[in-house]
Amino acid sequence: MKHIQILLLVFLIVSCAPIRVNYDYERTTNFSKYKTYQYFGDMKTGLSALDTKRFLDAFDAKMTALGFSISETPDFLIDIKSAEFQGTPRQSVGVGLGGGGRNVGGGVSIGIPIGQPNVSRQITVDFVDEKGIGLFWQAVSESSFNPNASPENREARLKAITDKILAGYPPKP
């Protein structure tokens, strides 16, 4: 029972890590005319093969829930790219040395990082109308990433990212 509680706590902490998404779109676009989609044939997601499958499965399920369908003659194409990068550790310890007297002072201070560097993943999703205006909608998500996560946690995280990305489509006027 204790192991289950610890696992639930870890899952809660991982799932609460913020997913930030920035949206951009062409203001003159009539989003109601887009009903079918397909992925670019030469798409290189930058994700592992298994993570690509997990992400596309979650993306397709969400697009279906939004009323879209995959087609051989799509209204628009989707391109997905990702990149991973390491940030600096969030915590550090400061060590300082100083001295002074008679209106003279000086000091030296350094920060010593504690813990592992943060690994983040940025996923960019582009909606492109090749017959019309080209790129008409884009979402760029950034979130923490654990390269050692279990397949279940990876799937849950990619589903959460997909939900957050598609929450901004179509844009609200």
Q: Where are the domains of the chain?
A: 18-87+111-166
Q: Which of 46, 56, 45 is nearest to 79 (CA)?
A: 45
Rg (CA), the chain: 22
User: Considering the entire predicted model, what is its pTM?
Assistant: 0.73
- Could you give the CA distance from residue 51 to residue 40 in angstroms, rounded to a whole number? 17
Q: Which residue has the tokens 């050692």?
A: 148
* Secondary structure letter of residue 169 according to DSSP: -
The 3-state DSSP class for residue 29 equals coil
CATH fold for domain 18-87+111-166: Double Stranded RNA Binding Domain (3.30.160)
* Secondary structure letter of residue 168 according to DSSP: T
pLDDT of amino acid 85: 83
What percentage of the chain reaches a pLDDT higher than 90? 61
∠ CA 120-128-60 to the nearest 5 degrees? 65
Residue 145's pLDDT band, with cuts at 50, 70 and 90, is confident
- Could you give the CA distance from residue 166 to residue 31 in angstroms, rounded to a whole number? 14
How many CB atoms lie under 10 A from the CB of residue 60? 16
pLDDT at 157 over 70: yes
- What average pLDDT does the chain have? 84
